Amino acid sequence: MSTLSRRSFTLAGLASSLAFAVSGVSEKSSETSKAKRPPNLIFLLTDDHRWDGVGFMGNSQIHTPCLDALAADGMVFNNAYVTTSICAASRATILSGQYVCRHGIDNFKKTFTDEQFENTYPVQLRNTGYTTGFIGKYGVGTTLPETAFDYWCGFAGQGHYEQQDEKGCYKHLTRIQEEQALQFLDRYGKEGSFCLSVSFKAPHCQDGDPRQFLYDPEYESLYNDTTIPQPDYLTDTFSERFPAFFRKNNEGRKRWEMRFSTPEQFQKMVKAYYRLITGVDHVIGALRQRLEALGIADNTILIFTGDNGFFLGDHGLAGKWFGYESSIRVPFVVYDPRLPRELRGARRDDIVLNLDVAPTLLSLAGITPPEGMQGRDISPLLSGEKVPWREDFFYEHTFDHGGIPKSEGVVSRSIKYLRYIDQNPVYEELLDLQNDPHESTNLVADKAYADTLQRMRIRYRELRANACG
């Protein structure tokens, strides 16, 4: 059996065995054992992971059996978004539960003040007795908070996929992160309640490397017999769709030329991107197996999401940054072993945000989130409650980069309103997501949408004031 075949068999086995093991875990657990200590928390974050880059969101080409099993055992949120589509700002929002305009971290050099960091979810959890661990890409500022965690295997910057062990043998970064996560569980899994944050570099590209997406060689042959369908809106009509200021020196366009400008490039790059995700999928399966082996699966909650989306050539773009669905929408799964059987595998259409991660983790631990957190605890949604919920949210991207126009706006499930705020006059976009899901037509000048445009302008001012005030 080939390396790939062995790995594929392992992945499928992980997924099927987990489905069997987890199905009865809640029934076997006693209420008294649950009451002994608060639940363990594992927060899993991928980098540049678009919403449809998983099987459970309808992608039939990608191989993610373990993530699909997690989704089948947990709850999937179909409409999960980030409020800023760039790594550092989004990660600061995840940690703090605040909008960028509130925490102020809008580039790669800024970091939290001491006071701000005290109100992040890992510090709050540790202060109440949780053992905390961090593995992988930290991504907020240039100072690493190594002493703020009981277990620290984080790194600054982007890191590099190609690593060597102490013997000089090749080892992929994702595999190293798997080993570190399992080590944490073995060391702390039975000592009390813990919160482990695993921040993958995958499937982020390797900046500066012409190969771009450096996957584990074990997945070399995966997807070789697959043809990835190109989206209808993967076109070279960039100049026809966007105004001149957007086209000028556009960073997304430059990266499109490197990755997706030919059908051959598209196939090569998307398959490499998918291989990185499959590598993460294996880690999820290994973690769940270890939780079962340690006897703590019935008291451990897992949350999986991405720090932002990613263009795979759609709109003639690569990267993220801009307020279109491919860029701002992410996968989002919560697995809670206490979830009633009838809710396992359920899906919700409520809008959830990266903003919600911190208050949700704290609430699941029985901790009242600090007043400064602006996100919402999604726990009521997990229990199937019908509660008043957001219908839209404020989007912002104020990173200062000559090739990335600054933007703000309002996102709802049906209408999107974007403002390019560094233009004079401000350039506006109005998109009808129901009738134009590819976001190809700007309706600002359409008289039939005049009332909608005015309504969204008013809503933008309201949401911005609430977020930034």
Q: Write out pLDDT tens, residues 289-317.
A: 999 999 999 999 999 999 999 999 988 89
Q: What's the rounded mean pLDDT across residues 425-435? A: 97
Crossing angle of helices 87-96/357-364, nearest 10°?
30
pLDDT for residue 26: 42
Q: What's the rounded mean pLDDT across residues 387-407? A: 95
Judged against a pLDDT cut of 90, whether residue 21 lies above it is answered with: no
Q: What's the rounded mean pLDDT across residues 402-414? A: 95
Omega before 425 within 30 of 0, i.e. cis: yes
pLDDT for residue 233: 61
Mean pLDDT taken over the chain: 91
Under a CB-based contact definition with an 8 Å cutoff, are residues 425 and 113 in contact?
no
Q: What's the rounded mean pLDDT across residues 356-371? A: 97
- Is the Cα dihedral 53, 205, 329, 323 positive or negative? negative
pLDDT for residue 37: 85
Judged against a pLDDT cut of 70, whether residue 1 lies above it is answered with: no
Pair type for strands 300-306 and 40-46: parallel
Q: Write out pLDDT tens, residues 43-80.
A: 999 999 999 999 999 999 999 999 999 999 999 999 99
- Domains and their CATH numbers in the chain: 3-18+38-391 (3.40.720.10), 406-469 (no CATH)
Judged against a pLDDT cut of 90, whether residue 35 lies above it is answered with: no
Q: Write out pLDDT tens, residues 85-139.
A: 999 999 999 999 999 999 999 988 999 999 999 999 999 999 999 999 999 999 9
Judged against a pLDDT cut of 60, whether residue 28 lies above it is answered with: no
Q: What's the rounded mean pLDDT across residues 401-424? A: 96
Position 234 confidence tier, pLDDT thresholds 50, 70, 90:
low
Q: Write out pLDDT tens, residues 327-355.
A: 999 999 999 999 999 999 999 999 999 99
Find the range with the poorest average confidence among 18-32, 235-249, 417-431, 436-450: 18-32
Give the C-alpha distances (Å, rounded to integers) separating 262 from 50, 125, 205, 234, 268.
Answer: 21, 48, 18, 10, 10
Position 424 confidence tier, pLDDT thresholds 50, 70, 90:
very high
Q: What's the rounded mean pLDDT across residues 388-411? A: 95
Find the range with the poorest average confidence among 256-265, 272-281, 285-294, 322-331: 256-265
The DSSP H or E segment spanning 360 is: helix 357-364
- Max mean pLDDT among 69-83, 152-166, 217-231 falls in 69-83
Tokens 């990608």 identify what position? 62
Tell me the three-class secondary structure of 171-209, residue by residue: EEHHHHHHHHHHHHHHHHCCCCCEEEEEECCCCCCCCCC
Q: Please count the other Cβ atoms lying within 10 Å of the Cβ belonging to residue 156.
A: 14
